[in-house]
Amino acid sequence: MEENGIKEGQREELSELSTIDNHPADMATEVYDKERGYALFENEKNILAKIDAALKNIEDGTYGICEVCGGEIEKDRLEAIPYVSTCKNV
């Protein structure tokens, strides 16, 4: 979380003792950066969950099978995104 710029509170984020003297535009930039950090963190969590699911599918022998239609996922698609769970047709 710290790598994505997510900290405990605004005071820690700004590294200042007080937020009273900050310009509203500066505060908006700080909020934007913090929200962007949260979005990046959520994206990382989602990708890790997909990778874990793909690893489980490898163990189960179902890796490369589309979870929607049950067909084979194209090899070029799996090479590009190894954790993909659907074929191109879905």
pLDDT at 58 over 60: yes
Q: 29: pLDDT confidence band, cut at 50, 70 and 90?
A: confident
Distance CA 46, CA 82 (A): 14
Phi, psi dihedrals of residue 85, rounded to the nearest 5°: -120, 0
Q: pLDDT: is 78 or 5 the higher one?
A: 78
Q: What is the mean pLDDT of residues 22-47?
A: 86
pTM for the full model? 0.65
What is each CA distance from 74 to 3, 28, 66, in whole angstroms? 34, 44, 9
